[in-house]
Structure 1
């Protein structure tokens, strides 16, 4: 199973070069190539045939004469090649090698339970039954959905598959030995270009198509369709305002994707409704993070509570002591986080479900909403962590959300 992003030459390697090499190693074998459409399968067939004709002197065999059909041809050494679409019939044919390249044609097909079931039944009934004893199957695809063909095979028969997964941006233990965050084809799309594409298409599409780790489409914690985006804050008596932080301390070098330091300002009205007013984010060094917290506090004003997580250990206490000194005159709330992220977020999710959370319009809306949509399976959760801290501080119900705040008054 070869899982790679769009435009990464996976079809060139696996559906064009590989079949020609296979015939050189197994001259009298038969190959069936399948794709989501007969047109695409025949396109690969033509390219393989042209390559063999071009390199016949090197390969030691050629395509048999008068083999013009794109969907079926043979070689002079007894090899046979057949191309079919997912809906094409393969009855009466047997293969030593079956190559399935892109069995899914679009996001719409991937999201359709009926189409996913059709592809799965096609694989079980039409493909597996065509394989000769000792035969091999190679599946080349870009992942679209958790339950696409690759996902179902991995969930039901993972031990039978060798998986080569090459994400667009390298993760830990990359099979190519790339450092974390390194691009797959930097000459084609470097880290900056891929990051811009990621921001454009959203986290869910990025995780599936480019990282080959599709996120669940259902069962998320936050019902984001219940969150209203308002041009101006809702009217009503303001009860409390807090700026809550989630801290990180690694700068962005252009070749990595560190966590964000996030500060979210949230307001509670006297009617029990909550408004997310502002989000600031930074991928910076510890010094830059501290500067951002102090600068933002002065911008917000002394009536806004500053809520900061305290890391366990002496380092966390030292950082808090430093920040408290820098925020003289402000109301600073510190707490440690316990329990899982999802558990801490549940009280907030209940308020989202009830329609009690709204968002002031801003250029930060999209990234926040997308992160909430993908939580807890998304690539990042820094904004959600800060938002949960803000909500917990405003409600004064820390026991339900996990952390136990300890107030430090600097007035």
Structure 2
């Protein structure tokens, strides 16, 4: 879907090295819990939108939650995603993905379907946008995306950090389908005890950390996996992973 995106002047958008890394992780559907921590202005939203557009192209009727730090920001990013879906370039790649007739098509909630005809009995939108702390309703989501759900205000005090932690687990994460749903968080770290820091310490997520500062000209991301992770790790030869997963034990 990034092939459908352009910068000002109609120049096609091209991923930098760290964006390719993010896309590898985002597109690996065996990763059920993914956290990407990166500095401000590193095009986090741009590439999350690119991934989500592709995901919607393949599975237009699956429900998704898109969360950001505030409801207004979430709506703006929802609209940016919808503009990609409606673009002529996207329609060339995913022909037939259209507005679902009879379902909501608002800034914060909208629906698409193959040929514009939703499957019988469908009631849940393709995308629902929420701000941090908002009441999340609806069915179990195919994917929950948190794009910069943390900011200075909601990480400033211990009370606010605890509130966000509780909301994320009780309202956002709990809306994802068990075993098969994905949770993807991407954002900037604000405090040593914010939600992202707690997730890193839990050791239960795949985490990609791109630092704000580096000792030299080269910048390296740190990629960590949960103990006992059975999916493919970036950098591992495919043959070794295949042999490990299909090892015959007498």
Which TM-score band (shorter chain)? 0.5 to 0.7
Shift of 1:170: 4.3
Q: Are the aligned partners of 2:151 and 2:190 in contact in 1 as well (CA < 8 Å)?
A: no
* Bigger Rg, which one: 1
Deviation at 1:65, TM superposition (A): 4.9
Specify the SS of the correspondent of 2:170: helix
1:18 aligns with 2:51: yes
- Choose from 100, 105, 122 the match for 1:64: 100
Partners of 1:109 and 1:100 in 2: how far apart? 14
- 8 Å CA contact 2:135–2:171 kept in 1: the answer is yes
Task: Give the stretch that moved more between structures: 59-68 or 43-52.
Answer: 59-68
Which one has a larger percent strand, Structure 1 or Structure 2? Answer: 1
Cα distance in structure 1, aligned partners of 2:55 and 2:214: 29
Q: TM-score, normalised by structure 1?
A: 0.40
Between the aligned partners of 2:154 and 2:205, the Cα distance in structure 1 is 24
Deviation at 1:114, TM superposition (A): 0.7
Instruction: Determine which of 149, 158, 164 is the counterpart of 2:208.
Output: 164
Secondary structure, counterpart of 1:62 in structure 2? strand
Paired position in structure 1 for 2:15: none
1:130 aligns with 2:175: yes
- Given the alignment, which residue of 40, 63, 76 partners 1:43? 76
Deviation at 1:162, TM superposition (A): 1.3
Match of 2:113 in 1: 76
* CA deviation after TM superposition for structure 1 residue 58, in Å: 1.9
Over 3 Å counting, the alpha-carbon distance change for 1:68 and 1:23 in structure 2 is closer
Structure 2: give runs of 5+ residues left out of the alignment.
Answer: 1-34, 119-124, 223-250
1:176 corresponding residue in structure 2: none
Matched, 1:95 2:141: yes
Give the equivalent residue in structure 2 for 1:181.
Answer: 217
Distance 1:110 1:89 in 2: 19
Confirm whether residue 151 of structure 1 aligns to residue 197 of structure 2: yes
Instruction: Report the counterpart of residue 52 of structure 1 in structure 2.
Output: 85
SS in 2 for 1:76: strand
Given that residues 168 and 183 in structure 1 are in contact (C-alpha distance below 8 angstroms), is that contact kept between their aligned partners in structure 2? no
Q: Report if the CA contact (8 A) 1:73-1:82 is conserved.
A: yes
CA distance in 1, matches of 2:64, 2:137: 14
Specify whether residues 68 and 26 from structure 1 end up closer, same or farther in structure 2 by C-alpha distance, changes over 3 A only: closer
Report the secondary structure of 2:183's partner residue.
strand
Which whole-Å CA distance do the structure 2 matches of 1:94 and 1:2 have between them?
A: 23
**Which residue pairs with 1:310 in the alignment?**
none
Aligned counterparts of 2:109 and 2:138: Cα–Cα separation in 1: 13
- Secondary structure in structure 1 of the residue aligned to 2:149: coil
Structure with more relative contact order (C-alpha pairs < 8 Å, separation 6 or more): 2
In structure 2, distance between residues paired with 1:91 and 1:75: 19
Contact 2:99 2:105 in 1 (8 A): no
- RMSD (CA atoms): 2.2
Contact map agreement 2:132 2:164 (CA 8 A) in 1 = yes
CA distance in 2, matches of 1:38, 1:144: 20
**Aligned residue pairs, count:** 173
Of Structure 1 and Structure 2, the greater helix share is in 1
1:29 Cα deviation after fit: 1.5
Q: Distance in 2 between matches of 1:84 and 1:42?
A: 8
* Stretches (4+) displaced over 4 A: none
**TM-score computed with the length of structure 2 as normaliser:** 0.63
Taking the aligned partners of 2:82 and 2:68, their CA distance within structure 1 comes to: 17
- 1:114 paired residue number: 159
**Quick one: distance in 1 between partners of 2:131 and 2:166?**
14
Q: Which structure 1 segments of 5+ residues have no match?
A: 172-179, 185-210, 212-411
